[in-house]
Amino acid sequence: MKLEFRFSVLAAAIASSGAIAQNKTELVVVTASRTAESMAETLRDVSVIRGDDLVRAGVSDIATALQSVAGVEVLVQGPGATPSIFVRGGNSNQVLVLIDGQRMGSSFSGQSAIQHIAVSQIDRIEVVRGPAASLYGADAVSGVIQIFTKRGSGISANVAAGNQRASDVSARAGFTGDGHSFSISANHRESRGYSAIVNPSDFSFNPDRDGYRFSSVQANASVKLMPSLTLEGSVFAARGNAQYDGDASFDDRVKSDVRNASAKFRFAPSARWNSSLSIGQSADQASFISSFPGEFKTTQEQLSWQNNVRVNRDVSLWNALEWRGEKVASLDGLDVTSRKTSSAVVGGDVNLSPMKITASVRLDDSRQYGSRNTGNVAASYALNGDWRVLMNAGTSFKAPTFNDLYYPGFANPLLAPERAKNVDMALQWSRAASTAKIVVYENRVRDLIQFVCDANFNCAPQNVSKASLRGATLSAATRVAQWNVEASLDAADPKNLTTGKQLARRAKLHGALKVSGDVLGVTTGMELVASEHRFDNASNTRRLAGYGVVNWFARHELANGLSLGVRLENALDRDYQTSSGYATGGRRGWITLSYSQR
């Protein structure tokens, strides 16, 4: 099926979407522009996942939550493993992950261990599709995922049990007073899991179960020091122990330690000007206990000073100065163990009703890869009360990882950052709480880092490839009687332009459908995630079949804040793979008893 034909199908679908709606209160997002704005008015392609919705649906982890987001594909290689997240067809290390405004991830792999964050600790997740390097700097090539942890008052607790001897226990308490607030939560999850690798001929095959244990604590505090000055603080810490198949004769496992802490001063002396100064530190440590042991630790220190100025009713400006220091440590020893980046960014928006324009430019100066300039401009035009046309263009880059640059025997310290140019257009319809949107995009990436071997099998990463991330996304939602319906469909052509091959583990067609509502006092729903075939390798010789997975959930409010929930994931017990040779675990069931006091 040709991509052009898919575009015509999507365009026809949006033309008939007049009944589509979403019965949600108006959302405010901050990740799309670094300033608070209405979800309905943002010029970027954004999705928001509410933590309370995840709890009501009994969703067990962040990877499962992201699977149904438009433009996002997720694969996990075994229980408790770090998920690979592909946004708009980009590589999994081309999406930036933030937690409460702070970068989270490994400078070795470029990925983030988000599996440590429990669903019960999430207030919301904002997913921005498309480049955002002009806002956040390196690595935001295909998108940004920001996780906001829970704040505010109330007491809640959850106890869940499932097959594979899985359990999930969490508790949270918070209070607010005159100018201050505090909340703290804790979570423990574990499971016996399943055997990650299913191919007996694989070197790493081991038929034992690969289980995991994760424990985490999270706290937020806020105090008003004076009418115009507020101090906020946030802490997240987690430890994990996850088994994996690495050697048939060894109980391979990885012990992990993830931390994130930040403090922020907010100064708002007038309605026209506010300023914030934040400082934070994040750490990601993974210790591999196996016949091939290893330890990788990343520490990131971050400092940001941002000023927002409202010139008048229609013009707003903002600027920020940032500094980030990365430090790494490894048992293998690296020639270089640190990298520092200083940044300056300026942005603003103008309302020329019925047109709105926003723009930002950024300079990142690194002692490792030099200076990089990025920019972005977006515009919207209101056709009438219901329809908007949106356009967006921007540049981005991804910095080489420390593995790429300095890993002994397999590195290239002369690597340059990957660079990208993106353009997208969208048509959006909305009426009251109703929405529908189609986005067409193309992101051209060059200087892609690829592992290359010469005739003597001397191997090192090189800037040798180019890629085109082209596609269209249709997303919509409606309420029919008591039923909420949300759907998305992605048609894409993620291609390596150097070889002409489809990028590995990314489908040309995938989508999601969710239906939920109240029946006789029970909240129930169904989720469908479907994907066309993909290829597991860059040469497109290992084909992975397409799949469709159905999840079902139900929740009943008992009394006095108690509720009982059940959830089936992969309810039809489909046997499928998102990575060749790796199992996905089959059907999984959960029963959850929850308590909530507001």
Alpha carbons 179 and 187: distance in angstroms, whole number: 28
Cite the beta strand spans of 195-314 per DSSP E. Answer: 210-226, 229-243, 253-267, 273-289, 294-312
Strands 522-531 and 509-519: antiparallel
Percent of the chain with pLDDT strictly greater than 70: 96
Mean pLDDT of 25-44: 90
Q: What is the pLDDT of residues 509-552, one digit of tens each?
A: 999 999 999 999 999 999 999 999 999 999 999 999 999 999 99
Cα atoms in the 13 Å half-sphere on the side-chain side of 403: 15
From the list 236, 237, 232, 235, the residue with the least C-alpha distance to 263 is: 232
Mean pLDDT of 572-591: 94
Alpha carbons 244 and 250: distance in angstroms, whole number: 10
Alpha carbons 20 and 308: distance in angstroms, whole number: 36
Alpha carbons 251 and 231: distance in angstroms, whole number: 46
Alpha carbons 443 and 143: distance in angstroms, whole number: 11
User: Which residues have C-beta within 8 Å of that of residue 101, sequence separation ≥ 6?
Assistant: 146, 262, 264, 278, 280, 304
- In one-letter notation, the amino acid at residue 417 is P
Alpha carbons 11 and 438: distance in angstroms, whole number: 7
Q: What range defines the domain where residue 162 resides?
A: 3-15+26-597
CA dihedral sign of residues 566, 571, 576, 582: positive
pTM of the model: 0.94
From the list 100, 165, 203, 109, the residue with the least C-alpha distance to 400 is: 109
Whole-number pLDDT of residue 472: 98
pLDDT at 8 over 70: no
User: Which CATH number fits the domain that encloses residue 63?
Assistant: 2.40.170.20
Indicate whether 20 belongs to any domain: no
Whole-number pLDDT of residue 396: 98
Alpha carbons 218 and 432: distance in angstroms, whole number: 36
Number of Cβ atoms within 10 Å of the Cβ of 271: 7
Q: Report whether 493 contacts 473 (CB < 8 A).
A: no
Mean pLDDT of 317-326: 98
Provide DSSP, 487-533.
EEEEEEEEEETTTTEEPTT--SEEEEEEEEEEETTEEEEEEEEEE--
- In one-letter notation, the amino acid at residue 125 is I
Cite the beta strand spans of 383-482 per DSSP E. Answer: 387-398, 418-431, 434-453, 459-480
Alpha carbons 11 and 437: distance in angstroms, whole number: 10
Question: What are the backbone dihedrals phi and psi of residue 114, each rounded to the nearest 5 degrees, phi first?
Answer: -70, -10
Alpha carbons 405 and 412: distance in angstroms, whole number: 5
Enter the tokens of residue 190.
Answer: 């574990």
Number of Cβ atoms within 10 Å of the Cβ of 201: 6
Mean pLDDT of 262-286: 97
Percent of the chain with pLDDT strictly greater than 90: 84
Q: Report whether 275 contacts 308 (CB < 8 A).
A: yes
Whole-number pLDDT of residue 105: 93
Q: What's the chain's average pLDDT?
A: 92
Indicate whether 424 belongs to any domain: yes
SS3 for 327-380, per residue? EEEECCCCCCCEEEEEEEEEEEEEEECCEEEEEEEEEEEECCCEEEEEEEEEEE
Number of Cβ atoms within 10 Å of the Cβ of 293: 10
Q: What is the pLDDT of residues 445-455, one digit of tens each?
A: 999 998 888 77
Query: Number of structural domains, the chain?
Result: 1
State the pLDDT confidence band at 506, using cuts at 50, 70 and 90: very high
Indicate whether 521 belongs to any domain: yes
Alpha carbons 325 and 323: distance in angstroms, whole number: 7
Whole-number pLDDT of residue 486: 96
Q: What is the pLDDT of residues 351-371, one digit of tens each?
A: 999 999 999 999 999 989 999
Q: What is the pLDDT of residues 141-179, one digit of tens each?
A: 999 999 999 998 999 999 999 999 999 999 999 999 999
Number of Cβ atoms within 10 Å of the Cβ of 134: 24
Indicate whether 259 belongs to any domain: yes
Q: Report whether 232 contacts 266 (CB < 8 A).
A: yes
State the pLDDT confidence band at 25, using cuts at 50, 70 and 90: low
